[in-house]
Amino acid sequence: MYDQAIAALPIRAADFDRVRKLAHSVFGLDLRSGKEALVSARLSKRVRDLGLADIPQYLRTVEEDRTGRELACLIDALTTNFTSFLREPQHFEILRGLILPSLENHARFQLWSAGCSTGEEPYSILFTIADHLGERGVSRLNLLATDISTRALDAARGGVYPLDRIKEMPPSWPKLYFQRGRGAQEGLIRVRPEWRQRIAFDRINLMEDLSRVPKSHVIFCRNVMIYFDKATQEQLIRRFTDRLEPGGWLLIGHSEGLMGVRHDLEFVRPAVYRKPPLRGER
């Protein structure tokens, strides 16, 4: 395993500032003073993988790469992809008890997992809907899962997780939705292919134009905005509001309240907001 304490390269204040400005302008990340050691540790492995001398040379490589591939690698290095199945379980109780009943009369409904990381969130959404509405409900569902990290998306599409993730799930899920690894795959579980194919995974930068994202009845964007400053959070909430259908729901992380962020959404309960429905509808 990569040893950050031993292998991290030095980073000058000017280079940290270059990384900070680049991260903020490209994908909204708010890197503040005190994160220098973290940034150095995250970038040092990529520096060595490319056979470069130091972090300044790596940043020049990123800036000169017109393909954008190395910028994507930089984003992968700086983003944190911690998640779990049914993380913040209150949201899934609200999905079952409040949101899905409001969608019962829709011929189709669109959900968006924005910042889906390695896939545990969209799979949790899918399996919750399957448990609650059965095949009839799932057949009416369009589920989009997006992230800026290509590495995280590759993992999400693959749907392979350590076996110990089973303890986070309802007892019926492993048998219904997963295959258990054998031989070289011992100790792993994988989402069954017929369930993986029900989710559309795509790379989307939330700081860019979101007009190609379908209007959604529900958007999950949890524990993403904690990495943004208030101005960026406000901009993103406006973008989400535009991509919500009237009466649509926005679920954010419980540590991310919208205090101090101007928005046009109705507060439902902590970390749950709703776009006002059309006149005469609820």
Catalytic residues: 42, 147
Token pair recorded at residue 32: 């503040």
Report the alpha-carbon distance of residue 208 to residue 28 in Å, rounded. Answer: 10
DSSP label at residue 51:
T
Residues in the chain: 282
Is residue 153 within 8 A of residue 201, CB to CB? The reply is: yes
β-bridge pairing 109-114 and 188-191: unpaired
Closest CA to 15 of 49, 47, 39: 39
CA distance 141 to 82: 26
Output the six-digit token pair for 126. Answer: 């899918």
- In single-letter form, the type of residue at position 108 comes to R
* Distance, CA of 84 to CA of 226 (rounded, Å): 17
What is the dihedral angle through the alpha carbons of 138, 240, 212, 68, rounded to the nearest 10 degrees?
-110
For residue 123, what are the CA distances in angstroms to 138, 210, 258? 12, 23, 26
Token code pair at residue 163: 């076996």
Instruction: Locate the DSSP E strands across the chain.
Output: 109-114, 141-147, 160-162, 178-180, 188-191, 199-203, 216-221, 244-252, 266-269, 272-274
